[in-house]
Amino acid sequence: MTESASSSAIGELHKLFDLTGRTALITGGSRGLGLQIAEALGEFGARIVITARKARELDEAVAHLSSLGINATALVCDLSQAEDIKNSVDRLESTIGSVEILVNNAGITWGAPTVDHPLDSWRKVVDVNLTGAFLLTQAVGKRWMIPKRRGRIVNVASVSGLVGNDPAMQATLAYNTTKGGLISFTRALAAEWGRYGITVNALAPGYFWSKMTQGTLNEHEALLVKKTPLGKLGGPSDLKGAALLLASDASSHITGQVICVDGGVSVI
């Protein structure tokens, strides 16, 4: 390959990942995996809108993203409240205009033996992890993606939606169930919305250090690392490449798929 042909090929490849001119809405984007994804999509040109329940954490995340040269704004939204989701989408339309990329990342968990799992806690997990993702996806699809015949939806599931917990660890039935549901949601919606040029895919991370996983990792880090073929937990950049792939034109012929970013946990 000549030098000029090589440069041209590199240029074309870069275009596939370029998100300039697109807005990415990332739920649970103030910290953890959501913030990691915001960094990745923002670095490749996307305008970032992050949502969470706590304004202070959102402000800190926006300041962090802005320090990296990323165009970022925040939107306080409680995904367990249907009316809050509707109002947030309305505000987005009046301030931002449209959303081309939706990352359903927000999630909560509850640890308890199944026989003792409180019903109200079950409902809280389902409301945020599954119903909230459904309502926001429905609104964004109807408002922008279907009329424009274009969109990228990335659902952050978990390997916990594919396998059960080690018996030595705390049971989290509601969390596992909702993450498995989000994987089925991904596949069913990909089949339904493919006709509109919308791709729907999922990421299934293994264990990363975060506020949600801190308690589990403080107690079981050695066990989890031992069970991981790559011998390590997820790091601060390990989700970025897969997220960028699924949010960009590089994945234009990929839909309904689940990419496990787990160091190999799910294969054994």
Catalytic residue numbers, as ranges: 175
Dist. CA 21–CA 248, nearest whole Å: 12
Secondary structure of residue 4 in the 3-state scheme: helix
Question: Under a CB-based contact definition with an 8 Å cutoff, are residues 16 and 249 in contact?
Answer: yes
Closest Cα partner for 40 from 250, 258, 266, 264?
Answer: 250
Phi, psi of 238 (to 5 degrees): -70, -20
Structure tokens at 122: 């079950």
Question: Under a CB-based contact definition with an 8 Å cutoff, are residues 67 and 268 in contact?
Answer: no
List, in order, residues 6 or more apart from 57 with CB less than 8 Å away.
30, 31
Dist. CA 260–CA 186, nearest whole Å: 14
In terms of C-beta density within 10 A (0-12 exposed, 13-18 middle, 19 or more buried), how is residue 36 classed? Answer: buried
List, in order, residues 6 or more apart from 16 with CB less than 8 Å away.
248, 249, 250
State the Cα angle at 254 between 251 and 257, rounded to 5°.
120
In terms of C-beta density within 10 A (0-12 exposed, 13-18 middle, 19 or more buried), how is residue 122 classed? Answer: middle
Dist. CA 26–CA 266, nearest whole Å: 25
Strands 23-27 and 198-205: unpaired
What is the DSSP secondary structure assignment for residue 230, as one 8-state letter? Answer: T
